[in-house]
Amino acid sequence: MAKVVVVGAGVIGLSTALALAEQGHDVAIIGAFLPGDQHIEYTSPWAGANWMSFALNQPDVEKYDGETYKYFYKLAESVPQAGITFRNNVIITRKSDADLPDKQLGSLFLKRGPWFKNLVKNYTPLTASELRSYPGEMAYGYKFLSFNINPSVYLAWLVSQLSNFGIRLKRVKLAHINDAVKYHPKGTPDYVVNCTGVMVSTLGGINDPNAIPIRGQIVLVRDPCPNRFGLDTMLSISGVDGSPWVQSETRQELFYSMSRGDGTTVLGGCFVAGDYTDSVDPRLADRIVARAKQYLPELLNEQGEFEIIRHVVGWRPGRVGGPRLEIESAPLPGTNVKVVHNYGAGGGGYQGSRGMAVTVAHIIENDIASKKSLKGSSKL
């Protein structure tokens, strides 16, 4: 058993702490923000959130997301208090986008289907009749059984699971990663796990220049008929207006919706890399609403408008090159404490959270085994 301090109390930090506690490690969690807080730098409460892996030629991310799909499936089946519910997910590619190169189109919208089509339940190509039911010219699409995650409920559930292990969260804003060694109640830890998310670029001792925010903006509206499709449906369309969905560009928009089953639906959205704007862009909000009127007219009131609850802006914790999950080869200065990194999931934080957490647990277990092996060799 190792003593571990997890830095960061978003979905990645909480999931990591839980996976480590389940393996018998003695875990403490600190974070500048805690569940219940609402701050632009605290990403997890603002998420959609769902499972819809967009890994493209990224086997590690596929592993994280695949592990999490199986975990969420079990929770949706038998743990209603976790706030994870089954949803049908419909993904459609427009004819105007269908011939784009893979990297531009993105993994979700490829004609051959996504990497996960043999993993998920109920994967089914859309029929020509189903495609014609949507406005515009649609080339192809598919649907599968996915999940919607209620962020506030799931974060609270993770905290309750940690509480079962006697783990409490402590509010601490670190200036430097070295300071994390002060916060294990039983003395200097063996490991510090860095799950600091979107602001890791400014954390002393890390200052990762590849870490960037990916700005998102959504509109939350009332849903007068939340069970209209049996299983509330999530919908994503490959492009918007006259523009294709191009992953390689800095500014990206596409239409998506997530029915939460609680009388609300999320309408989105955008992915804007490197944008620290924390205010609502009213022109983008208007574009989101206009697109949603095309695809979800059943949600409109008698006046032909949505009943808007609020507009939300959040920063996804992105990273050029993808998530960073690795252990530093050298300990923190003047200590034997090693840092393990787990950040940079971008918009895939929830859908990869369990797989990333389990990977961190494996990294630490392997390092402990390596230390034991070295000690054994030194005695020979």
Other beta carbons within 10 angstroms of residue 86's beta carbon come to: 17
Task: Tell me if 43 is assigned to a ligand binding site.
Answer: yes
CATH of 1-49+150-209+320-380, one of 3.40.50.720, 3.40.50.1100, 3.30.70.120, 3.40.640.10: 3.40.50.720
Task: Tell me if 251 is assigned to a ligand binding site.
Answer: no
* pLDDT at position 252: 81
CA dist 276 and 269 (Å) reads 16
- Listed in sequence order, the residues at least 6 apart from 59 whose beta carbon sits closer than 8 Å to its beta carbon are none
* pLDDT at position 46: 87
Closest CA to 235 of 264, 261, 268: 268
Predicted confidence band at 251 (pLDDT cuts at 50, 70, 90)?
low
Tokens, residue 162: 């940690």
Task: Tell me if 132 is assigned to a ligand binding site.
Answer: no
CATH superfamily of 85-146+211-318: D-Amino Acid Oxidase, subunit A, domain 2 (3.30.9.10)
Other beta carbons within 10 angstroms of residue 160's beta carbon come to: 11
Task: Tell me if 44 is assigned to a ligand binding site.
Answer: yes
- Listed in sequence order, the residues at least 6 apart from 147 whose beta carbon sits closer than 8 Å to its beta carbon are 50, 51, 72, 73, 76, 84, 85, 86, 87
Predicted confidence band at 245 (pLDDT cuts at 50, 70, 90)?
very low
Predicted confidence band at 226 (pLDDT cuts at 50, 70, 90)?
low
Give ranges for CATH 3.40.50.720 in the chain. 1-49+150-209+320-380
Roughly what angle, to the nearest 10 degrees, separates helices 349-378 and 11-22?
40
CA dist 331 and 336 (Å) reads 5
pLDDT digits (tens, 9 = 90+) for 260-279: 877 889 999 998 889 999 99
Q: How far is CA 12 from CA 85, 213, 256, 321, in A?
A: 20, 16, 24, 18
Give ranges for CATH 3.30.9.10 in the chain. 85-146+211-318
CA dist 262 and 150 (Å) reads 9
Q: Which of 66-80, 99-113, 178-192, 238-252 bottoms out in mean pLDDT, i.e. has the lowest? A: 238-252
Task: Tell me if 347 is assigned to a ligand binding site.
Answer: yes
pLDDT digits (tens, 9 = 90+) for 139-170: 999 999 999 999 999 999 999 999 999 999 99
What global pTM score does this model have? 0.93
